[in-house]
Structure 1
Amino acid sequence: MASYHIRQYEEKDHKRVVELFSRGMKEHVPAAFRHMLTLPQTLLLLPGVPVTIVLVSGSWLLATVCSLLFLLCLWLLIRLAWRNYVARSLQADLADITKAYLNAHGSFWVAESRGQVVGMVGAQPVKDPPLGRKQLQLFRLSVSSQHRGQGIAKALVRTVLYFARDQGYSEVVLETSCVQYSAMALYQAMGFQKTGQYFVSITTRLMGLSVLQFTYSLPFAWGPGM
């Protein structure tokens, strides 16, 4: 028997939802940092900077210090990018979840365990979908680190899919960053197909942090397995 249940969002959940989102996004900073270290430009700079400094100054100590400063700058750049994203989100849809989701023909759900909100997900209609399609977009999927591995994320995604089916949508779409590996694996395991990839800005392009787009096509009738 599941140790959690999923229900619709209530105003009293707002503080906990904001905490879940903020902590969940913060967890991706190390993954983004490791991702940046694998980029061709970073792999060129990491050995190139100290070698150049040694050739110019003859000091290995200075070269080591500069290399460490370079890595620190990368780390701070990623932290800043993530913090800015969280801040924008908290001022946008997460500022008033009822208005952004429940009053906009969408919905927002939380997973509750022992009286505490441990997971969340939202859904909004896509305003300008491709011709002939009715799309619902999945947003803000997050599960507390202490409650992962219990199938909560999968249950939350299924909740969105059921809602989309009942409301007559033809597709559920979503976007996630290229370093959210667990989320991508979950979506693909549940039948979402990657349909696009883009960079939000020149800065994210330089950082190699792309946004991936996924689509789930809803069948006319689901079998008992769903």
Structure 2
Amino acid sequence: MSDYKIRGYKDSDYEAVRELFSAGMNEYVPPVCVHVLKQPWVLFVLTCMFICLLVSSKSLILPVLAVTLALALGRQLLGYCWSMYIDHCLKEDLRDISKTYMQSKGSCFWVAEADEIVIGTVAAKPSEEKQEELVLKRMSVRKDFRGLGIGKALSREVLSFARQNQYRSVILNTLMVQHEAQKMYESVGFKKYIEFVLPTVYGKLINFTVSKYRHDILPGS
């Protein structure tokens, strides 16, 4: 593997950053589908559908086809909802990255680059809920470059930025399917301090859990 470097975001990175974010988020569609399928009420509905159709039709083909169709439709619906979330992010802070992060006090956006190709990103901006708290956002590493410590290096870049700008802590959010990311954050000192179900109808319906992590910046560290 070629050496990589971490540097500040440039306007020429715009399309590469957005594409990397979209590709990374789309990887979570299958795990989310599996998570939804494991929910008790979903299994109950599918089981009832199968049994009712089996009893009424006295044929195995119809219930199997019906359950298969229900799973396919559910997969399409989840994929559509996920794509809407990605589109929402692209239209918010990732719409004008320079303005949001590079031109705002206490914020920054970094990219990891290898052979002049963007292979990773991370951003940081002040928390809207608590003073002297920095939020780590938009962490993403290209799939074929994972497991090489790039995510850890990007995380440490944010922690260094927090120290230099006198923040007392760095926080971040992870989803219930981001197991590898959670392990990576824990390996650089982040600790989970709260876990909650997204307070929306669909969040409660599919038990969409968000875990918040924090890394306290010790004085003089």
Which category of TM-score, normalised to the shorter sequence, fits these structures?
Answer: over 0.9
Aligned to 1:221: 220
Aligned to 1:139: 137
Compute the displacement of 1:205 (Å).
2.0
Structure 2 unaligned segments of length 5 or more: list them. Answer: none
CA distance in 1, matches of 2:208, 2:182: 14
Aligned to 2:159: 161
CA distance in 1, matches of 2:188, 2:15: 30
Compute the displacement of 1:63 (Å).
0.6
Aligned to 2:121: 120
C-alpha contact 1:16 1:117 (8 A) present in aligned 2: yes
1:111 aligns with 2:109: no
CA distance in 2, matches of 1:128, 1:180: 24
1:66 aligns with 2:105: no
Q: Please give the TM-score of this superposition, normalised by the length of structure 2.
A: 0.94
Say how many residue pairs are matched. Answer: 219
C-alpha contact 2:2 2:114 (8 A) present in aligned 1: no
Compute the displacement of 1:2 (Å).
7.4
Q: Which amino acid aligns with 2:158?
A: V
C-alpha contact 2:126 2:135 (8 A) present in aligned 1: yes
The 1:176/1:158 distance shift into structure 2, 3 A limit, reads same
1:3 aligns with 2:3: yes
Please give the root-mean-square deviation of Cα atoms over the aligned residues, in Å: 1.5
CA distance in 2, matches of 1:12, 1:164: 26
CA distance in 1, matches of 2:27, 2:115: 24
Equivalent of 1:194, from 192, 195, 211? 192
Runs of 4+ in structure 1 over 4 Å off:
none
C-alpha contact 1:50 1:67 (8 A) present in aligned 2: yes
Instruction: Give aligned-pair identity as a percent.
Output: 35
CA distance in 2, matches of 1:109, 1:30: 28
Q: Please give the TM-score of this superposition, normalised by the length of structure 1.
A: 0.92
Aligned to 2:211: 212
C-alpha contact 2:197 2:203 (8 A) present in aligned 1: no
CA distance in 2, matches of 1:145, 1:24: 8
CA distance in 2, matches of 1:80, 1:118: 26
Compute the displacement of 1:183 (Å).
0.8
